[in-house]
């Protein structure tokens, strides 16, 4: 067997950066009103987070996998909340 690859959480960090970017966009428009664009950008963080999950499974490292699973849940939750807030704001 070869040398094990270091445990990396870079994809999960990229996902969290996208979440923060989505929240910043929503905050610029009024955070209680949500934002479709901010929600989509936050939800796009699931792509690097899923890649991080895959790397964690391939490397058999629990740390990378745990952080990436958390990133997937956070990106989907924040993206969904921002989109739902905007839709509710339109209907209200």
Question: Tens of pLDDT along 28-84?
Answer: 988 888 899 999 999 999 999 999 999 989 988 888 899 999 999 999 999 999 999
CA 71 to chain centroid: 5
Confidence bin at 1 (pLDDT 50/70/90): very low
Domain ranges in the chain? Answer: 11-91
Q: What angle, rounded to 10 degrees, do the helices at 36-43 and 10-29 form?
A: 180
Q: What is the pTM of this model?
A: 0.87
Task: Report the chain's terminal Cα–Cα distance, integer Å.
Answer: 61
Q: How far is residue 12's CA from residue 5's CA, in Å, rounded to a whole number?
A: 17
């Amino acid at each position: 067997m070869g040398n094990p690859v270091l445990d990396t959480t870079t994809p999960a960090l990229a996902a969290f950066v996208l979440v923060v970017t989505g929240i910043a966009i929503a905050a610029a428009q009024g955070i209680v009103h949500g934002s479709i664009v901010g929600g989509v950008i936050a939800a796009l963080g699931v792509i690097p987070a899923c890649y991080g999950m895959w790397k964690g499974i391939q490397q058999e490292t629990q740390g990378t996998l745990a952080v990436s699973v958390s990133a997937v849940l956070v990106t989907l939750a924040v993206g969904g909340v921002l989109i739902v807030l905007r839709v509710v704001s339109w209907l209200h």
